[in-house]
């Protein structure tokens, strides 16, 4: 049986009941909402993405297919990446390509960037990357120009693999892959020479790497696949220099954590395994927060079956069944009060 050590337990603090995200929109329709609640993207019906700004609602995107929408941002908060999933729940294919768009939040019509999955914005939101599973290729594209890189991954038979990536500077791009021995690794691509090298390699099979980033650092987390009882760790790399090197081990454990990392300025959230019953082959998982300054670990939820953590315009959300719980940020943004217009001379 794998249990958290007594030493670790003594350093943990446990959360009270989490607040739910309260908005004017039903949680099941919400695809993105700004931190102040004034701008929201909602799924109005199949194939229609609505934009709500204040008291005005419009059809922002629409098509004739049974589409759904995923929207992500970055810590820069300048643009949004929109992933349109055609024939959602009708065509189930691990290699199905989705339509990738970018837009400025609440301001202009979207621009199509290509077809792929898992878009990420980089460097002032002037770059976007996404994965093409049918080609096993990452596309890195400049939103303002026609500049583009195509990064081929090693051929693999794992259909559930998808890469994580981050553009740490104008010269360097980091991404995850699996080598010919089945070991996960993080590669560093020099964009000026188009040559890559191994930045980090797993010491054992059965684990994968995640990447998340903030202004001053990016983090690499190593976690085991579901059903594999191996340890976890989180490393941080500074972004003070151009070429990433010299990581710091922020967190290391024998527990089989889930991952789903979210990087903030002073902390990292992830899904942690708090207990494991080897007889029932069942584990309890919670949202955890680890501080960068002192590595203090805090359990932030008490739901026992957390699987994902989401960052949305600086707010850290925990989706659980039909609810959205708030781990960090304002939770109540459903107020309809109009702002008073200042009198002349004020």
Q: Is residue 221 part of a domain?
A: yes
Token pair, residue 228, equals 């594999």
pLDDT of amino acid 247: 93
CATH of the domain at 283: 2.130.10.10
pLDDT of amino acid 180: 87
Name the pLDDT band for 15 (thresholds 50, 70, 90).
Answer: very low
Domain membership of residue 211 as a residue range: 6-328
pLDDT of amino acid 90: 77
Encode pLDDT of 139-148 as tens digits: 999 999 989 9
pLDDT of 204 higher than 90 = no
Q: Is residue 169 part of a domain?
A: yes
Encode pLDDT of 43-95 as tens digits: 988 889 999 987 788 899 988 788 999 999 999 999 999 999 988 777 777 78
Q: Is residue 73 part of a domain?
A: yes
User: Pairing between strand 310-312 and 315-320?
Assistant: antiparallel
Cβ neighbour number for residue 81 with a 10 Å cutoff: 24
pLDDT of amino acid 335: 57
Which carries the bigger pLDDT value, residue 271 or residue 332?
271
End-to-end CA distance of the chain: 67
Rounded Cα distance, 247 and 234, in Å? 10
Arithmetic mean of pLDDT, 25-48: 91
pLDDT of 338 higher than 70 = no
Give Cα separations from 194 to 25, 176, 191, 304 (angstroms): 46, 16, 5, 45
Cβ neighbour number for residue 47 with a 10 Å cutoff: 19
Arithmetic mean of pLDDT, 294-316: 94
Arithmetic mean of pLDDT, 306-331: 93
Q: Is residue 339 part of a domain?
A: no
Mean pLDDT rounded to a whole number for the chain: 87
Q: Is residue 333 part of a domain?
A: no
* Domain total of the chain: 1
Helix (H), strand (E) at residue 10: helix 6-11
Q: Is residue 1 part of a domain?
A: no
Q: Is residue 334 part of a domain?
A: no
Rounded Cα distance, 300 and 304, in Å? 11
Strand order in the sheet with 248-253: 207-213, 217-224, 232-238, 248-253
Which carries the bigger pLDDT value, residue 216 or residue 14?
216
pLDDT of 266 higher than 60 = yes
Q: Is residue 66 part of a domain?
A: yes
Arithmetic mean of pLDDT, 22-34: 91
């Amino acid at each position: 049986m794998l249990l958290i050590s007594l030493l670790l337990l003594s350093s943990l603090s446990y959360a009270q009941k989490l607040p739910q995200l309260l908005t004017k929109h039903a949680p099941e329709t919400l695809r993105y909402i700004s931190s102040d609640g004034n701008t929201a993207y909602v799924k109005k019906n199949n194939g229609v993405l609505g934009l709500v700004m204040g008291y005005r609602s419009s059809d922002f995107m629409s098509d004739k297919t049974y589409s759904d929408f995923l929207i992500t941002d970055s810590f820069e908060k300048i643009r949004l990446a929109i992933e349109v999933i055609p024939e959602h729940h009708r065509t189930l294919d691990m290699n199905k390509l989705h339509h990738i768009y970018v837009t400025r939040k609440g301001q202009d019509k979207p621009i199509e960037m290509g077809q792929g999955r898992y878009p990420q914005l980089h460097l002032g939101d002037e770059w976007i990357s996404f994965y093409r599973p049918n080609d096993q290729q990452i596309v890195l594209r400049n939103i303002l120009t026609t500049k583009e890189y195509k990064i081929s991954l090693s051929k693999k038979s794992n259909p559930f693999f998808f890469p994580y990536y981050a553009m740490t500077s104008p010269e360097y791009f980091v991404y995850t892959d699996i080598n010919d021995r089945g070991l996960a690794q993080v590669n560093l691509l020099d964009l000026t020479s188009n040559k890559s090298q191994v930045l980090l390699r797993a010491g054992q099979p059965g684990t994968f790497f995640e990447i998340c980033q903030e202004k001053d650092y990016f983090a690499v987390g190593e976690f085991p696949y579901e059903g594999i009882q191996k340890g976890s760790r989180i490393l941080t790399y500074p972004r003070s220099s151009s070429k990433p090197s010299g990581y710091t081990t922020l967190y290391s454990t024998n527990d089989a954590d889930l991952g789903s990392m979210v990087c903030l300025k002073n902390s990292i959230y992830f899904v942690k395994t708090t207990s494991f019953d080897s007889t029932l082959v069942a584990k309890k998982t919670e949202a955890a927060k680890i501080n960068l300054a002192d590595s203090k670990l805090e359990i932030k939820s008490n739901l026992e079956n957390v699987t994902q953590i989401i960052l949305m315009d600086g707010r850290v959300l925990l989706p659980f069944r039909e609810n959205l719980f708030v781990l960090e940020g304002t939770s109540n943004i459903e107020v309809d009060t109009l702002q008073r217009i200042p009198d002349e001379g004020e």
